[in-house]
């Protein structure tokens, strides 16, 4: 709201405080992540849409409801599971991870079968889930033949699974690290969502027992043995993809571990840190260099586009999540801090923590708070910090909070960063015109003076001087002022049409001046109905009219307008004492040469009108004349 201030106007400690506050806000925004949900969904969509194939070394063997019914009825017979483990050993599976409980309620036959099968694999090739709450007496020999892993799965807050989280304090190994590399480590594994979860090699447990099942399908493979959704009632959801099963999630994590997805994540974190620094720096530079709010907004949009592109490219090329919305918030936060710094209001920044008004604002407001003229003290974001009683009544403000009411008023008073309007028009209680006084140039304190009556008188006088009293369209002066305005702007996107009525003099002579005046009114109304809202219609005198067309035009569109104007007087007109038939000839001209002035265009339009009138007379069999 205040004037533009360079860094030289502030002491070094003030500069350091402004930059320090920007970094503090940036750190707060980055840590709080207010747009985390938006960024997460945006990244999930870009990652899932890539649909990369799964690693062919990973095989998922599922136990279906049909398998349970065929081999155990109420639960899967563990002797059938034991035969399956023997198949894995026979076919040469590299490592097998079992997501089936092999420890509880085992019969003697089941125990013996599992013991024999697990001996064939051994703890280096076979791992099973650890059940911390289960009684394990009598099972130590069985458990010694397997690597115990923690198969608990913990979803994110939105109930979606984006990583395999290793439970804190678990006494056993991580299943993903063991299956991928045979390591008994403890770590989290983030899923690579680019992998299509439906592309893993998947078989049912019954498929393995078919005589024609190829052993090569499991040779040197990493095998996951798990219940599918029809057996395991636990509902698992992947981002975007939707419902899945435990076996697929274990496969997703194993794929990420095999392909060292953690390295990509580390690179992605570094890139995001660089993006964050760039966002903060961009916001500061925009705030310090922009000459208006419009330019600041355009630069902010440009930076936002670059951040969005860079984040999208990182997701697609590196395959990791990004935070474009968070980057935009960082840019906006640093931009806000830089603008406050430029406006010479560092006290406003510290006012967030220490108070509402700075000492300068409090001193300046004291002189205006009791004044009869409306006075308003704005904040840097457009809210009204203070308004006296005259301003509350004049602008219908609602105390004590003026944030909502002040946005429009602030934009009117300061249309650009550092700009101070001198005159505005409001519509709070009817249209009112105000002159603005800024008694303290460095503070956004404005005093309003109501000049509505004088402005209305001035507007009425201008209308009287530029309006034809008979037809209520522009007169010659009004038309010349409109053309002069175009000329002053140096514009070339306009056209001028001249019109002269045929038969007006005869009506005026035979039916009287009242009929002639009525004819002119009707003609002006018909001309007005034919032109566009942006065009200007004028009566130059007598039965002569002109139209100023503004905008990107070509000769065909202007000629079409001329013919439309001529067509408006084809139908007869009732002038009270008679119904008369008159016509009109329209000539037009557009700027052609770069050196051509609006006066030259006017002259050519007038000449074209004469030529058109002569042509129309020749069509009617009349003898053309050089005068009207």
Domain end residue (candidates: 453, 483, 502): 453
Q: Which residue has the tokens 């407001």?
A: 365
| Assigned token pair, 399 | 């105390």
* Burial class for 616, CB neighbours closer than 10 Å (0-12, 13-18, 19+): middle
pLDDT in tens, 433-476: 888 888 887 788 889 988 878 877 777 787 788 889 899 999 98
Question: Are residues 605 and 548 part of one domain?
Answer: yes
DSSP track, 184-244: -----EE--TTB-GGGSEEEETTGGGSTT--GGGTTT-EEEEEE-TTT----EEETTTEEE
> Is residue 53 domain-resident?
no
Question: Are residues 504 and 424 part of one domain?
Answer: no
| Mean pLDDT (whole number) for 60-84 | 88
Question: In the chain, what percentage of residues exceed pLDDT 70?
Answer: 85
d(CA 121, CA 85): 8
| The pLDDT of residue 112 is above 80 | yes
- Whether the model clears a pTM of 0.75, i.e. scores above it, the answer is no
**The pLDDT value given to residue 504:** 87
> Is residue 15 domain-resident?
yes
| Assigned token pair, 593 | 């040469």
**The pLDDT value given to residue 254:** 94
Question: Are residues 271 and 253 part of one domain?
Answer: no
| Assigned token pair, 65 | 């409801």
CA 266 to chain CA mean position, Å: 29
> Is residue 588 domain-resident?
yes
3-state secondary structure of 547: strand
pLDDT in tens, 483-535: 888 877 777 888 999 999 988 888 888 888 888 889 899 999 999 999 999 89
Look over the chain and give the mean of its residue pLDDT values, rounded to a whole number. 82
Q: What is the 3-state secondary structure (H, E, C) of 445-507?
A: EEEEEECHHHHHHHHHHHHHHHECCCCCCECHHHHHHHHHHHHHCCCCCEEEEEEEEECHHHH
Question: Are residues 276 and 300 part of one domain?
Answer: yes
> Is residue 253 domain-resident?
yes
d(CA 161, CA 408): 45
Question: Are residues 228 and 174 part of one domain?
Answer: yes
| Assigned token pair, 229 | 């959704």
Question: Are residues 230 and 145 part of one domain?
Answer: yes
| Mean pLDDT (whole number) for 392-414 | 74
Domain end residue (candidates: 230, 258, 286): 258
pLDDT in tens, 221-234: 999 999 888 887 77
pLDDT in tens, 150-166: 888 888 888 888 888 88
Range of the domain at 341: 9-31+266-347
d(CA 401, CA 97): 63
Between 14 and 277, where is the model more confident?
A: 277
| The pLDDT of residue 381 is above 80 | no
Question: Are residues 323 and 274 part of one domain?
Answer: yes
> Is residue 355 domain-resident?
no
| The pLDDT of residue 356 is above 50 | yes
* Burial class for 16, CB neighbours closer than 10 Å (0-12, 13-18, 19+): exposed
Question: Are residues 146 and 194 part of one domain?
Answer: yes
pLDDT class of 167 with cuts at 50, 70, 90: confident
Other Cβ atoms within 10 Å of 78 Cβ, number: 24
| Mean pLDDT (whole number) for 356-380 | 75
Domain CATH for 487: 3.30.70.270
Between 123 and 25, where is the model more confident?
A: 123
Question: Are residues 89 and 22 part of one domain?
Answer: no
Question: Are residues 595 and 556 part of one domain?
Answer: yes
Which residues does residue 58 pair with via DSSP β-bridges, in sequence order?
222
**The pLDDT value given to residue 626:** 40
3-state secondary structure of 155: coil
d(CA 186, CA 172): 8
3-state secondary structure of 438: strand
Contact 425, 431 (CB under 8 A): yes
Question: Are residues 290 and 414 part of one domain?
Answer: no
**The pLDDT value given to residue 139:** 67
| The pLDDT of residue 353 is above 50 | no
**The pLDDT value given to residue 29:** 65
d(CA 258, CA 180): 6
| Assigned token pair, 621 | 């069999």
User: β-strand 222-227 against 58-63: which pairing, if any?
Assistant: parallel
Domain CATH for 429: 3.30.450
**The pLDDT value given to residue 402:** 65
| The pLDDT of residue 13 is above 60 | no
pLDDT in tens, 173-226: 899 999 999 998 888 899 999 999 999 999 999 999 998 999 999 999 999 999
| Assigned token pair, 589 | 């001209």
Contact 483, 550 (CB under 8 A): no
| The pLDDT of residue 563 is above 90 | yes
**The pLDDT value given to residue 352:** 37
pLDDT in tens, 566-600: 999 989 988 888 888 898 999 999 988 877 777 88
> Is residue 626 domain-resident?
no
> Is residue 3 domain-resident?
no
Which stretches does DSSP call E strand in 13-166?
58-63, 95-98, 126-129, 147-149, 163-164
* Burial class for 180, CB neighbours closer than 10 Å (0-12, 13-18, 19+): buried
pLDDT in tens, 421-436: 888 888 777 788 888 8
**The pLDDT value given to residue 210:** 92
**The pLDDT value given to residue 221:** 95
Q: How many domains does the chain have?
A: 4
Domain end residue (candidates: 223, 258, 293): 258
d(CA 177, CA 306): 38
> Is residue 1 domain-resident?
no
Which residues does residue 587 pair with via DSSP β-bridges, in sequence order?
498
**The pLDDT value given to residue 4:** 35
d(CA 31, CA 199): 37
Question: Are residues 290 and 190 part of one domain?
Answer: no
pLDDT class of 615 with cuts at 50, 70, 90: confident
């Amino acid at each position: 709201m205040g004037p533009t201030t360079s860094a030289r106007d502030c002491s070094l400690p003030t500069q350091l405080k402004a930059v320090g506050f920007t970094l503090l806000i940036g750190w707060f925004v980055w840590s709080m992540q207010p747009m985390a949900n938006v960024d997460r969904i945006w990244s999930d969509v870009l990652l899932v849409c890539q649909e990369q194939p799964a690693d062919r070394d990973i095989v998922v063997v599922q136990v279906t409801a049909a398998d349970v019914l065929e081999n155990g009825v109420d639960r899967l017979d563990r002797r059938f599971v034991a035969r399956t483990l023997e198949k894995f050993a026979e076919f040469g599976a590299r490592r097998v991870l079992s997501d089936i409980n092999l420890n509880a309620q085992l019969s003697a036959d089941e125990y013996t079968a599992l013991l024999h099968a697990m001996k064939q694999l051994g703890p280096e090739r076979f791992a099973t889930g650890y059940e911390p709450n289960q009684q394990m007496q009598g099972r130590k020999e069985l458990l010694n033949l397997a690597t115990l892993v923690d198969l608990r799965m913990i979803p994110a807050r939105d109930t979606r699974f984006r990583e395999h989280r290793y439970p804190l304090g678990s006494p056993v190994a991580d299943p993903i690290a063991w299956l991928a590399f045979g390591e008994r480590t403890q770590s989290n594994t983030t899923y690579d969502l680019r992998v299509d979860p439906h592309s893993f090699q998947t078989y049912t447990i019954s498929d393995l027992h078919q005589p024609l099942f190829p052993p090569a399908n499991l040779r040197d493979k990493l095998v996951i043995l798990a219940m599918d959704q029809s057996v395991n009632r636990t509902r698992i959801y992947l981002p975007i993809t939707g419902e899945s099963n435990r076996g697929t999630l274990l496969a997703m994590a194993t794929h990420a571990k095999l392909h060292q997805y953690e390295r990509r994540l580390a690179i992605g974190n570094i890139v995001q840190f660089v993006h964050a620094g760039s966002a903060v720096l961009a916001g500061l530079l925009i705030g310090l260099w922009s000459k208006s709010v419009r330019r600041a907004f355009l630069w902010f949009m440009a930076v936002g586009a670059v951040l969005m592109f860079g984040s999208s490219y990182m997701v697609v090329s590196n395959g990791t999540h990004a935070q474009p919305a968070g980057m935009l918030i960082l840019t906006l936060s640093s931009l806000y801090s830089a603008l406050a710094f430029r406006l010479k209001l560092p006290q406003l920044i510290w006012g967030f923590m220490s108070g509402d008004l700075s000492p300068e604002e409090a001193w300046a407001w004291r002189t205006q708070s009791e004044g009869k003229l409306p006075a308003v003290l704005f904040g840097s974001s457009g809210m009204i910090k203070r308004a006296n009683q005259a301003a509350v009544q004049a602008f219908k403000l609602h105390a004590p909070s003026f944030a909502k009411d002040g946005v429009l008023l602030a934009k009117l008073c300061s249309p650009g960063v550092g700009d101070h309007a001198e005159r505005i028009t409001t519509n709070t209680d009817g249209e009112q015109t105000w002159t603005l006084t800024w008694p303290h140039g460095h503070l956004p304190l404005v005093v309003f003076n109501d000049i509505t009556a004088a402005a209305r008188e001035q507007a009425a006088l201008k209308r009287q001087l530029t309006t034809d009293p008979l037809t209520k369209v522009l007169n010659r002066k009004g038309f010349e002022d409109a053309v002069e305005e175009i000329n002053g702007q140096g514009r070339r996107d306009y056209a001028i049409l001249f019109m002269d009525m045929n038969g007006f003099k005869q009506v005026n002579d035979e039916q009287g001046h009242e009929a002639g005046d009525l004819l002119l009114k009707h003609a002006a109304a018909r001309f007005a109905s034919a032109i566009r809202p942006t065009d200007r219609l004028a009566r130059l005198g007598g039965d002569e009219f002109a139209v100023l067309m503004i905008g990107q035009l070509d000769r065909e569109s202007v000629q079409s307008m001329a013919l439309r104007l001529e067509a408006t007087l084809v139908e007869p007109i009732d002038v009270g004492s008679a119904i008369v038939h008159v016509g009109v000839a329209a000539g037009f001209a557009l700027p052609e040469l770069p050196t051509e002035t609006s006066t030259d265009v006017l002259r050519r339009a007038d000449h074209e009108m004469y030529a058109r009138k002569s042509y129309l007379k020749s069509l009617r069999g009349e003898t053309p004349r050089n005068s009207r």
